[in-house]
Amino acid sequence: MPRKFKTSAADDGRTLAQVVADRLGIEPAEAVVLVARGSVYIGRKRVRDPEAIVPVAARLTIHQDESESTTPPLTIAYQDADIVVVDKPYGLASQPTRDRSDRSVEAWLQKGYPDGRLLHRLDRDASGLLLCTISKVARARFQQLLDENKLHRRYVAVVEGTLRGSGILDQPIGPDPADRRRQKAGYGKPARTEWKSVRCSRGRTELIIQLTTGRTHQIRVHFSTMGTPVVGDPIYGEGTSGRLALHALELVWPERRVTSPVPPEILELIV
């Protein structure tokens, strides 16, 4: 049965593939295929161009087979009796969305582990490591490690502009009352981001980032306030195509270090 949506002001300037991916909770690459094969209509017109800019207040009709609605398999980076660390691909939500409850890391987790819970989240546009507990005892222990900053979350990001050396961004973050998609620095809950420059090239900088708090969009908000947004960010930067250059690189706790290779499309941004 076709699914119908209406675009809003928040979709202004976004491509058809981006809007479809957002509404269905699917990976951007899947949305491109869906559009290209003629499954999406704007009003009564079939549109096959994934890069077409969607008008505000447009009516979208999406024809999608039920066979396309299952959560894809995920790469397991580490597993023991208490936890599973998954390597989330770009474009997959961490948790079920309003429009789709079957395509997320959490949906995948609960199919295989009834007591499974995400310890933290990643933005849909980011990729990399997510730690999931699969027992109540493990959940309490790892939450304590997280609260005591003994579970280190390290990211690699490519940002616009040149940053050298290292620094700490310590600004509170809260929801932006003017736009439900955004967070805003300057008020809300404490947020602390540590960064170190790796290399600069082509007017961009590769960074290693460590979080000591985990606010929604924390890295993206903090660097956008410096005038150095993450490359490819469609909300806080100028990204209109390609992917967000943000990857959860490493999880470290007292007994273990788990790493994920940096996606080649991120590395190509800085060479």
Q: Report the CATH architecture of 3-67.
A: Roll (3.10)
**Rounded Cα–Cα distance for residues 193 and 154 (Å):** 10
Residues 6 or more apart whose Cβ sits within 8 Å of residue 270 = 158, 199, 201, 202, 204, 205, 206
The answer to whether residue 30 scores a pLDDT higher than 90 is no
Q: Where are the domains of the chain?
A: 3-67, 75-267
How many Å is the Cα radius of gyration of the chain?
Answer: 19
Q: Domain 75-267: which CATH class?
A: alpha beta
Does the predicted model carry a pTM greater than 0.85?
A: no
* Residue 70 confidence (pLDDT): 46
Alpha carbon separation from 119 to 11, 81, 83, 106 (Å, rounded): 30, 16, 10, 11
CA 211, 246, 220, 84 dihedral sign is negative
Pair of tokens at residue 157: 């990001």
**pLDDT surpasses 80 at 27:** no
Would the pLDDT of 101 be above 60? Answer: no
- 218 pLDDT above the threshold of 90: yes
Confidence at residue 72, expressed as pLDDT on a 0 to 100 scale: 58
| pLDDT at 224 > cutoff 60 | yes
Q: What is the mean pLDDT of residues 111-134?
A: 91
CB 169 within 8 A of CB 213: no
Residue numbers annotated as active site: 123
Note the pLDDT of residue 112: 80
For the chain, percent of residues with pLDDT exceeding 70: 92
The residue-averaged pLDDT of 180-197 equals 94
More confident residue, 240 or 122: 122
pLDDT at 141: 96
**pLDDT number for residue 242:** 72
Q: Identify the CA nearest to 269 among candidates 197, 205, 195, 196.
A: 205
What whole-number percentage of the chain has pLDDT above 90?
Answer: 59
pLDDT tens readout for residues 192-211: 999 999 999 989 999 999 99
What is the CB neighbour count within 10 angstroms for residue 203? 8
Mean pLDDT of the chain: 89
Residue 99: is its pLDDT beyond 60?
Answer: no
